Structure 1
Amino acid sequence: MRKAILTLTLLLLSAIAIITFLVKSAPLPNKVLNGFDRTIQPASSLTPLGNMPTGDSIQLVSGATATQLFFTTTDPTVILCTDYHFKHPKRIRLSLSQGLLDSLQTYFYTTIDSPLVHIYGYNMPAIITLSLSGGPAQVFRLPPGGFSKAIAIGPDQFILRKLDRTISDQQFLKVNTTTQAITTEKNLSALHQDGGMSTDGSLIYDTATHQLIYTHFYSNRFFSFDTSLQKTLAGHTIDTSSYSHYQLAEATARKEHVFTSQGPDPMINNASFVYKGKLFIHSLLKGDHEAAGKFTNNAAIDKYDLSTGHYLGSFYLPLKPEKVRRIFIFDDKLVAQCRDYIYSFAIDTRDSVLN
């Protein structure tokens, strides 16, 4: 018995040693030169307004007005509302039928363009629209196949990134819930028949130019397109990570429509946001001559011109980069959603970091 226990202990220690060696010896992205440098501009106009812990109930920042922030909770019927100093919180209760709640489960995403609330049921799949002030919900059912991204470009018009099971990949759709018209993109997305996992990214909308921007998480690519699903720009970030290393974990994944990664995927780009024709990307790669302390203690935000794709410089956001989840610009406020806190800043929109 002792011999068996000793053998198991030795095997366990050997496994731990091998894993430790592989982790230590792996070419981590920021332990080697990444082949680029960034030009840092001081963001002197950022003024902290306040912060609030996310707790166990807040899901994400869902929308804003000039004076209020809205937050989705883990309960699709409850919206939390505060000012930008996170004072005077109040709850808004939405009326949804039990059938809709059962269908949504935990697979939903909510955005608020006051006074409208849009609840995206990823796996239903459906778009649910209702008013903050109450009233019945309008439900628009989509063809089979879940979707991963959704943007409202009007009260009844939406851009989705949705799974097409016939090609085992995701494509962009334009949906009009009033006319019930659904338009599918043509040659906008790169298709790899992996459920869209290798080309996963962030989708944002610039209300000033009426362009949508899609930034890849696992490569240095981004592109913009208009509301008719026509590409307007194909660009790339300043780093040299030109392709994704994603691989499917199972050879049968395409048949079963279950897509998982074979191993850890090095994320290149994190949160993106847009302001009047300028794209801002939180990069997770350190420039070759960038001070390590500055990079590890601040979120590096790179700026690009959406009319040309040109890099325009960078600035530091005073947040731990590994904790940043999403970043938003609401008029003259910058709001950052992090793993454990949400932060708001007043920002001078005349500052060079935005223009």
Structure 2
Amino acid sequence: MAGSTYVIFLPYYQTIMRKSIYTLLSLLVAAFLIIAVLVWIAPAPNKQANGFNRYYLHPLPLPAIGTIPATNILDIVGADDSLFYFSIVQQPSGVIATSFHPGAQTDTLNIPLQASFSNAVSAYFFTQVNNRHITVFGYNLPVIYNTSRTDSSLHTFTNLSAGGFSQGYLLRDGKHFILRKLNISEKDQLFIRANTENDSILTENGLSELHRDGGMSTDGTLTYDRQTGLLTYIHFYSNRFFTFDSSLQRISNSHTIDTFTVSRFEVAANKDENKQVYTNAGPDQMVNGFSCADNNKLYVQAKLKADNEDEKLFNEHCVIDVYEISSGKYLGSYYLDIPAHTKVNQLFVQGDKLVVHCADNIYAIQLAH
């Protein structure tokens, strides 16, 4: 009897299971189609008119005049009349130099760092090189090492109060640093000026917006133009930028040519034991990418398509917008012969050469005039 019952009900059971599987698959397909439709019809910055136009300074994408592999290179750290300098991943005491000329060799400069300092900052540091100084910023300690390029015995260690910093520059006087540094009491990043001779600190008054999120929602790029002595801070998530001088006095408020005046970044906060931890609440909606400055010009990686833009060119090439630092005036744009999908980590400009640090290669671009 048990055997015959099993034979009678097995086909019925199989039919029920088959129908359940088909129903589940149908629901999954329907859910996928609904999500696909929502993504397709959702407002996206480059699928709709963004309310601004671009003027191109050269009709064709500017080609690279030289490239080097980005393997083991951390940052572009400076340039002089003929060479560009690069820091090395996890090696604060080494700097690579190259001219980008065809067949040019690379050389390595050794920075006379104490082993204890080098080890302490090896995972978190950035370096700057100019004609007179080499500076290593240990932003997690936070400590700054500054030495003369001609006499390594002339060096200073500047120890700062608790709270790391994310960006900084040695000013052209060789005695002061401008930093964007975490202020523990405000739970946000503020600009400060540190003096290497007497360790005095000047803190900004009203330059930065306070959101008390560690500076995440106002993240951006700090640039320094040694010719004018002016600093500019460009927001990633809105079109705003402002310029200030070495005494932390605001010179001007400006905006990039796009129309997104409100930050496009959301912050989520949670508790990690006794510390407040901030993360982004969703995908980054970047308006501006990385920036650099030289000779009263500001170069900004553009993230949004202009209404008069050739869609094919924009989707295939990196775009750089150029502004006058002293006035904030838009001067025009360039297409670069670098794929638009390439991850750009940094921009650096010296005279008529723009150097672009990407995930795979570092490109030197001759700017057209």
Q: Which TM-score bucket, shorter chain as reference? A: 0.7 to 0.9
Deviates more, 1:276-285 or 1:172-181: 276-285
Shift of the alpha carbon at 1:282? Answer: 1.6
**Pick from 151, 159, 166: which aligns with 1:141?**
159
Please state if 1:123 is matched with 2:154.
Answer: no
The 8 Å contact of residues 95 and 134 in structure 1, kept in 2 or not, is answered as no
Report what 1:66 is aligned to. 81
Report what 1:51 is aligned to. 67
When Rg is computed on C-alpha atoms for both structures, the one with the higher figure is 2
Q: How far apart, in 1, do the equivalents of 2:211 and 2:308 lie? A: 35
Residue 92 of structure 2: SS of its match in structure 1?
coil
Q: How far apart, in 2, do the equivalents of 1:289 and 1:209 lie? A: 33
TM-score of the pair, normalised by structure 1? 0.87
Aligned pairs for 1:302-321 within 5 A: 302-321=321-340
Give deviations 1:163-211, integer Å, cap 9, x for gaps.
Answer: 1111111100011111211100001111111111111101111122111
Report what 2:351 is aligned to. 331
Change (3 A) 1:45 1:317: closer
Uncovered stretches (5+) of structure 2, i.e. residues with no partner:
1-17
Name the amino acid aligned to 1:53. P
Change (3 A) 1:141 1:12: farther
The 8 Å contact of residues 238 and 311 in structure 1, kept in 2 or not, is answered as yes
Q: How far apart, in 1, do the equivalents of 2:339 and 2:212 lie? A: 35
Report what 1:344 is aligned to. 364
Give deviations 1:63-89, integer Å, cap 9, x for gaps.
Answer: 111111111011112211111227211
Give the RMSD, CA atoms, in angstroms: 3.1
Aligned pairs for 1:1-355 within 5 A: 23-42=39-58, 48-55=64-71, 57-74=72-89, 75-85=91-101, 87-132=104-149, 135=152, 138-154=156-172, 155-252=174-271, 256-323=275-342, 324-347=344-367
Shift of the alpha carbon at 1:43? Answer: 6.4
Name the amino acid aligned to 2:96. L
Change (3 A) 1:82 1:9: farther
Name the amino acid aligned to 2:133. L
Shift of the alpha carbon at 1:257? Answer: 4.0
Calculate percent identity across the aligned residue pairs: 38
Q: How far apart, in 2, do the equivalents of 1:319 and 1:140 lie? A: 39
Deviates more, 1:327-336 or 1:11-20: 11-20
Shift of the alpha carbon at 1:346? Answer: 3.3
The 8 Å contact of residues 176 and 182 in structure 1, kept in 2 or not, is answered as yes
Report what 1:352 is aligned to. none
Deviates more, 1:212-221 or 1:136-145: 136-145
Name the amino acid aligned to 1:176. N
Residue 267 of structure 2: SS of its match in structure 1?
coil
TM-score of the pair, normalised by structure 2? 0.84
Name the amino acid aligned to 1:203. L
Change (3 A) 1:89 1:105: closer
Change (3 A) 1:12 1:46: closer
Residue 144 of structure 2: SS of its match in structure 1?
strand
The 8 Å contact of residues 108 and 119 in structure 1, kept in 2 or not, is answered as yes
How many aligned positions are there?
348
Shift of the alpha carbon at 1:300? Answer: 2.0
